Homo-oligomer: A and B are copies of this chain.
């Protein structure tokens, strides 16, 4: 039997779900007032008046959704992505599951870059491969400012003849930063040189607040080693609908879709139609949630800036995605997170979920209504004041 450890954040999230009065900034889901965009659900209701969504569909996903994704990516990245490069999946995790189960043999090694999204480790393990954690991202003070710095050399050092894959998220979960074009190119070169698959989980690609995001998408037609994961759980906030997608070389899509046909049969068909509508109306729907998430990020940063000035935490301002990842003064933040959960009824994800080197950190998901973030900040502030960790926080935070 394979014993997978459940990420602590899932355990914490279930406390929130089954009890009253908690505010959760733990699970990485976009949650805005009123749920997902009403127009998506109205369209789903129309589909339910037909039998379109009732029966099994192709394991690759429904044709119009694959077509729409291919067209969108081809135009956005000026790249020859075709329908044969696209498979619809049961969320981003379904895409990762299918590709890992297909491409990995027992005993293969998979490099995960710390801090790493915890599900990657589990997916590698149930694929009977071996996760190899490489602390490639380090938070460093450069010219007076905290930055996450990628050290590519430690990745190369970790490669062995058994290495088959490297999985990372970009924008980063949990760091909230993006790779530079140069860094992405370096990773691609490493993948090609060593014949390993480079899997880039880009589920937060619609939430870039500052700077330039470089997707792996345009590398796919140029390389047989690059795979890119996408999701509607984040962009459209449809996490309960379970629809994502995989973009990869046709040869790989072919094998992976056979696997998906066996393990999943097909992704939820009503979910696929809902995602199709959402994607077709993306330009109306996403800006609304983008603005809310950006506002929430700014509020969270204003508060954590104060804590940082007090020396209570240090962090890199997130430029993308859903997370503010702050370093505490603890060697392991777990106890602090559980304490805050209990006393302030605020749920966050402890750093231990993201690897050994991430233990001092805490992940705060700000993809909530700004009012919810303000309420969360107030509770955290009260907690810190009560704890006398810094009495001056109160004074400082009056300016908030």
Contacts and interface: CB of A to CB of B under 8 A. Distances in A.
A241 B268 contact: yes
B54 A36 contact: yes
A68 interface: no
B271 A122 contact: no
Contact of A56 (B51, B102, B240, B263): B240
Tell me the number of copies of this protein: 2
B264 A94 contact: yes
B90 A57 contact: no
B268 A240 contact: yes
Contact of A48 (B44, B90, B233, B262): B44
A123 B104 CA distance: 14
Interface stretch (A1-9, A177-185, A300-308, A322-330): A1-9
A267 to B, nearest CB: 7
Contact of A128 (B90, B105, B263): B105
A259 interface: yes
A238 B29 contact: no
Task: Please list the 3 inter-chain residue pairs (A to B) with the smallest Cβ-Cβ separation, ordered nearest first.
Answer: A35-B51, A106-B106, A240-B269
B128 A258 contact: no
A262 B36 contact: no
B259 A126 contact: yes
B59 A10 contact: yes
A14 interface: yes
Most B-side CB within 10 Å, residue of A4, A34, A104: A4
B263 A97 contact: yes
A155 to B, nearest CB: 22
A123 B268 contact: no
A266 interface: yes
A58 interface: yes
A25 to B, nearest CB: 14
A263 B93 contact: yes
A152 interface: no
Contacts of A270: 44, 240-241, 268, 270-271
A262 B45 contact: no
25 contacts: A1-B102, A1-B255, A2-B101, A2-B255, A4-B262, A27-B56, A35-B54, A35-B55, A36-B54, A54-B239, A55-B239, A57-B240, A90-B90, A101-B126, A102-B126, A119-B262, A122-B258, A122-B262, A126-B262, A126-B263, A239-B265, A240-B270, A242-B269, A268-B268, A268-B270
